[in-house]
Amino acid sequence: MAVQYGMRTRDASGAVTLDTSVTPVRSLKMMTVVGNGAFDQYISIPEIQASSFVVVDTLEDRGNYTFSPAAWWTTGQLQLRQPQNFTWQVMILSQGGEPFSASGTYGIRTTNNGKATQIDAINKVLAIRYSGKFSLLVGSGDQQIEGDTYYAWPAPITTYERPLIFLNADDYMMVGLFRITGSPGNWTGFRIANRAHPNHGPIWTQPTRIRWFCASYMADTTPVDQYGASVRDASGNRIFASTMNIVSLNSQPTATSFVTAGNPITGTGYYATSQQMAWTGNYDDYVLANALFSQTNIIQTTQPYRMNFGGFLPGNRGVLQMYCENFSGANPVLANGRTLFAARPMRPI
């Protein structure tokens, strides 16, 4: 067994509540940028490092026309496609490979076989706020047999940044028209629509059973008992407790890994290109929904919004399947530039 350095905490039942051998998703910087109207806008962001990854998201709820721009990043630079003049949320996140930041005075730092874990007032960990499950029934849009495609949280999430929603399914899942309801400081829930299709066989008529969790960087309010670890900042505000259920990173984040593969969906006056990327193969992994399943904005055409929809093919977690609508079939929109990654809860939900 390899020598391990770091920290592990357990609760009263003996369950592990924090394990620094697992890479948590943590924030290096949260910021906003404003589009300049260019087709491609390049923005210098020195905090983006070689081992960082970036999620670009909207700060608006525009109903079914909520969209996020295609985004790519390299060290020190972010590229946005057709950002128009809107304000966009940029979250620079960490896989734990960067050098420790000296900016946080209060917190926890560990190194475990080369994995760096830093938890402080600056480098915050992503923690689960709410979770649940529902089923979607094909044939009538948003109809469902249990739960709802619109889920209102018990209390609004009051962060300025938009929370992150992660989706999983028992097996098959095809969804689109994703959006989070509310506005900065008052995020109230999320909505998703069923997009199951006959191309995927008889399973398309069966209920799609979806599990989800919502995560944010707001300080946890769960009472802390005598087991575990708790960290406060200079003002006494609790910034971390091992009673939180931390989101752990479980695959390489990507914005460039989709390739044209699989069969497109076609019909009279309709075309949706098929795009696929390698997935984890594990049914325990959730996919980040925020930018992946929202609309793509194409402002130069008479069809200004094009739907991205997709998810998991029946019996196959080796592939993440996406479809991108383009009614004419010419110059199809591609899924690359949709920021996503696989994650799972640190402990079961």
| Each residue's pLDDT tens digit, 145-166 | 344 477 889 999 988 889 999 9
Q: Given this model, what pLDDT does residue 101 score?
A: 53
pLDDT of res. 141: 45
CA–CA separation, 160 vs 144, rounded Å? 31
Stated pTM of the model: 0.86
Tell me the two tokens of residue 150.
């619109």
325 occurs within a structural domain = no
pLDDT, average across residues 236-256 = 77
Residue 266 is assigned to a structural domain of this protein: no
Please report whether residue 44 resides in a domain: yes
CA-based nearest residue to 47, from 29, 34, 32, 63: 29
User: According to the model, what pLDDT value does residue 118 have?
Assistant: 62
Contacts of 136 (CB under 8 A, 6+ apart): 142, 143, 144, 149, 175, 194, 196, 207, 208, 210
Residue 149 in domain: no
Instruction: Please report the pLDDT score of residue 285 as a whole number.
Output: 95
Each as own residue / partner, the long-range contacts of residues 148-153 (CB below 8 Å, 24 or more positions apart, any chain) are 149/191, 149/192, 149/193, 149/194, 150/181, 150/189, 150/190, 150/191, 151/189, 151/190, 151/191, 151/212, 152/181, 152/188, 152/189, 153/129, 153/187, 153/188, 153/189, 153/214
pLDDT at 140: 47
What is the count of structural domains for the chain?
Answer: 1
Torsions phi, psi for 64 (to 5 deg)? -65, -10
CB of 124 closer than 8 Å to CB of 217: yes
* 26 part of a folded domain: yes
* 332 in any annotated domain: no
Task: Classify residue 110: in a domain, yes or no.
Answer: yes
What pLDDT does 145 receive?
Answer: 39
Q: Which two tokens stand for residue 64?
A: 């079914």
CA–CA distance, 186 with 158 (Å, rounded to integer): 5
CA distances from 12 to 16, 210, 226 (A): 10, 31, 8
Whether 111 is covered by a domain: the verdict is yes
Distances (CA, A) of 203 to 75, 200, 293, 316: 43, 7, 21, 13
Residue pair 54/86 in contact by the 8 Å Cβ criterion: no
Q: To 10 degrees, the CA torsion angle through 173, 177, 178, 184?
A: 180
Mean pLDDT in residue range 36-64? 89
Q: What is the mean pLDDT of the chain?
A: 80
> Domain residues for 56?
8-126+220-249
- Answer left, alpha or beta for residue 103, where phi above 0 means left and psi between -120 and 50 means alpha: alpha
Contact 323, 272 (CB under 8 A): yes
What percent of the chain lies above the pLDDT cut of 90?
34
Q: Who's near 272: CB < 8 A, 6+ residues apart?
A: 264, 265, 266, 307, 309, 323, 324, 325, 326
